[in-house]
Structure 1
Amino acid sequence: MGLFSSKEKEVFPWVKLTSSDQLHELIESSEAKPVVFFKHSTRCSISSMALNRFENKMNPQNCTCVYLDLLAYRALSAEIEQLMKVEHQSPQAILMNHHQVIYSATHSEIDASEIMNLI
């Protein structure tokens, strides 16, 4: 290991949300294992910073982490808002456990440590 050796960043194990059926399956799966939904706008630097901070601090072992690309799947965000009764924001993290939202935060308020404490 030299002075200039680089360590590759581990790929975060996201489940990419792409359909309404998948959304409903993930909500159902929260009965057995908590689910974190992360809504991200790929054109927003604030959203990118929040995503990077989340990925660097979050330990995804005890939950399912779901990534929603808002530019590609905006309608799914509206469906999340309707089903979970959480107003749309970007970036946004929502933790669901046993079909209930137990955490929701946006922008710099997204706190992976707090999410892990709730799991």
Structure 2
Amino acid sequence: MVNYTEITSVDQWKEVLKQSSEKPVVVFKHSTTCPVSAHAYGEFSAFEKPMDCYLVKVIEHRPVSNEISIDLGIQHESPQAFLIVNGKAKWNASHWKITKKELDKVTASL
């Protein structure tokens, strides 16, 4: 099961973005009221890679979710997952495309 840190502030997000210049990170944007997001959360939770992973609850922390969209230049969707390297989204997926298998694949070379 993935160990993740929840991002609850824009300042915390900015630190994660800065950290991605030193090592890749995975960020998962989760809607706590959506059944599709619940499924994707299960896939994200099953992901087991020794890297820093983060969770943003999009309803509870809308400003953080919005800032991620702005900083990465990728339209908001939820659920949504990102592999962030050097401050840029190297990979992103939404909805049913977020799977443990896909996360394993995109992080295999890290």
- TM-score of the alignment, normalized to the shorter chain, above 0.5: yes
Q: Quick one: which amino acid aligns to residue 71 of structure 1?
A: I
Q: 1:29 aligns with which of 4, 16, 19?
A: 19
Q: 1:59 aligns with which of 48, 57, 62?
A: 48
- When Rg is computed on C-alpha atoms for both structures, the one with the higher figure is 1
What SS class does the counterpart of residue 74 from structure 2 fall into? Answer: coil
Q: Quick one: which amino acid aligns to residue 116 of structure 1?
A: T
What SS class does the counterpart of residue 105 from structure 2 fall into? Answer: helix
What SS class does the counterpart of residue 60 from structure 1 fall into? Answer: coil
Contact 1:95 1:102 in 2 (8 A): yes
Give the structure 2 partner of residue 76 of structure 1: 64
Cα deviation, residue 92, structure 1? 0.3
Identity, % of aligned pairs? 31
Aligned residues: 107
Cα deviation, residue 51, structure 1? 0.8
State the Cα deviation string for residues 55-94 of structure 1 (Å, max 9, x = none).
Answer: 11x1230x21010011110111111111110110000001
Give the structure 2 partner of residue 19 of structure 1: 9
CA distance, structure 2, for counterparts of residue 26 and residue 59 of structure 1: 19
CA distance, structure 2, for counterparts of residue 37 and residue 116 of structure 1: 13
Q: What is the RMSD computed on CA atoms of the aligned residues?
A: 1.3
For the pair 1:113 / 2:104, whether they are aligned, the reply is yes
Contact 1:94 1:103 in 2 (8 A): yes
Cα deviation, residue 114, structure 1? 2.3
CA distance, structure 2, for counterparts of residue 53 and residue 25 of structure 1: 25
